[in-house]
Amino acid sequence: NAGVTQTPKFQVLKTGQSMTLQCAQDMNHEYMSWYRQDPGMGLRLIHYSVGAGITDQGEVPNGYNVSRSTTEDFPLRLLSAAPSQTSVYFCATVREDTDTQYFGPGTRLTVL
Amino acid sequence: GEDVEQSLFLSVREGDSSVINCTYTDSSSTYLYWYKQEPGAGLQLLTYIFSNMDMKQDQRLTVLLNKKDKHLSLRIADTQTGDSAIYFCAESIRGGKLIFGQGTELSVKP
């Protein structure tokens, strides 16, 4: 099993560009999450999904969109990238009985 | 709102015990977690404790939970250089969401 995979590993964007960060899982977990990690601030929840067709906002949702058409995939879209979105982005699946989160390897995004 | 606080740095000598502390605010949290992050990597679940437990031991790791004071600690016995990493405390809130602390950077000196 691959667990949680994320692509790309690294990305550089110019301000105003759009892109999609991909996340896929083969753990058959219904719950999936996107976090961003910034120095000294830990991880902050961007968006969340409890199953296909259902998404919810987290702590810092502005500037990001998500959709969940299948259990396996949970892409994160940046509509118009800004330098404040320079960060490391982690996708996670959630084991429902213990709320334990399993993280992907991360995408390091730089917005110039 | 919910908040999780950790000290930012801890330095110990190889072979000593390390104790990483965390305080949280949401008394309704069902589970509390410790994650480890090595440089350039994602977060790896180390252990978790159910909120009705006071202590959990797993090999070199001991987790202590004081619900009254909303205090969680992680003790690593016989700390090794390979334990050098950032350790995150997290609490679960409504529906599988986690609130993370800022992370404690553990430095182990030979």
- SS3 category, A94: strand
From A95's Cα to the closest Cα of chain B, the distance in A is 8
Among chain A, residues having any CB pair with chain B shorter than 8 Å are 31, 33, 35, 40-45, 48, 50, 58, 90, 92, 94, 96, 98-106
Q: What are the C-alpha distances in Å from A50 to residues A28, A29, B16?
A: 12, 9, 42
For residue A1, the model assigns a pLDDT of 66
From A20's Cα to the closest Cα of chain B, the distance in A is 19
| B31:A98 CB<8 A | yes
Question: For residue B42, what is the enclosing H or E element?
Answer: none
For residue B27, the model assigns a pLDDT of 76
- Comparing B74 with B42, the larger pLDDT belongs to B74
For residue B96, the model assigns a pLDDT of 67
The chain B residue lying nearest A33, using CA atoms, is B97
Of the candidates B41, B45, B100, which has its C-beta nearest A42's C-beta?
B100
| A90:B43 CB<8 A | yes
pLDDT for B37 beyond 90: yes
For residue B95, the model assigns a pLDDT of 64
Q: What separation, in Å, do the N-terminal and C-terminal C-alpha atoms of chain A show?
A: 36
From A15's Cα to the closest Cα of chain B, the distance in A is 25
The whole-angstrom separation of Cα A52 and Cα A4 is: 17
| A50:B4 CB<8 A | no
The whole-angstrom separation of Cα B64 and Cα B77 is: 14
The beta strands (E) that lie in A3-63 are given as: 4-7, 10-13, 19-25, 31-37, 43-51, 54-57
For residue A95, the model assigns a pLDDT of 86
Q: Which residue stretches of chain A have pLDDT < 70?
A: 1
| Cα atoms in the 13 Å half-sphere on the side-chain side of A2 | 10
For residue A105, the model assigns a pLDDT of 92
